[in-house]
Amino acid sequence: MEAAQAADGATYAKKIRPKEARIDWSKPGRELDWKIRGLSPFPGAWFELPTDKGPVRVKALLSAFEDASGPPGTTLDERLLVGAGEGALRLLRVQREGRGPQDAEAFLRGTPVAAGTRLG
């Protein structure tokens, strides 16, 4: 049997707006990793990936912090290692707008992302 939660000190949490879930690559990588994990799967932390047909929104569902460096928001290799304000993030699971979640490896087979790509 579960105990009832005490009402003392309880506060209301506002709904997270999509604008607040956008990834700000200038933030420290560890902080971004926590944000991605905390917002996954819903509402989902997201970024924009440039394509020939215009930017596409992509949710980052799982990531790992890596001790690497590069320009914030820029892919550092062709396997979704992205520079952050401090360190870098390896995106492990993503979801392109209008599609189902995919491991990064499967995503990259259908949507290659070259090193040096600037994510929005």
Residue 21 DSSP SS3 = helix
Q: What is the rounded average pLDDT of the residues 105-119?
A: 96
pLDDT at 1: 63
Residue with tokens 């905390």: 38
Token output for 49: 């990936």
Model confidence at 89, in pLDDT bands (50, 70, 90)? very high
Task: Read off the pLDDT of residues 64-81 as tens digits, 9 standing for 90 and up.
Answer: 999 999 999 999 999 999
CA–CA separation, 116 vs 98, rounded Å?
25
7 pLDDT above the threshold of 90: no
The pLDDT tens digits of the residues spanning 13-60 come to 777 787 789 999 999 999 999 999 999 988 999 999 999 999 999 999
17: which residues sit within 8 A by CB, 6+ positions away?
A: none
What is the mean predicted confidence (pLDDT) over 86-110?
A: 96
Please give the average per-residue pLDDT across 70-97, as a whole number. Answer: 97
DSSP 38: H
Q: Report the candidate in 83, 73, 65, 79 with the shortest Cα–Cα distance to residue 113.
A: 79
Element (H, E) at 18: helix 18-21
Whether the predicted pLDDT of 9 surpasses 80: no
Residues near 15 by Cβ (< 8 Å), separated by ≥ 6?
none
Q: Decide which of 12 and 109 is more confident.
A: 109
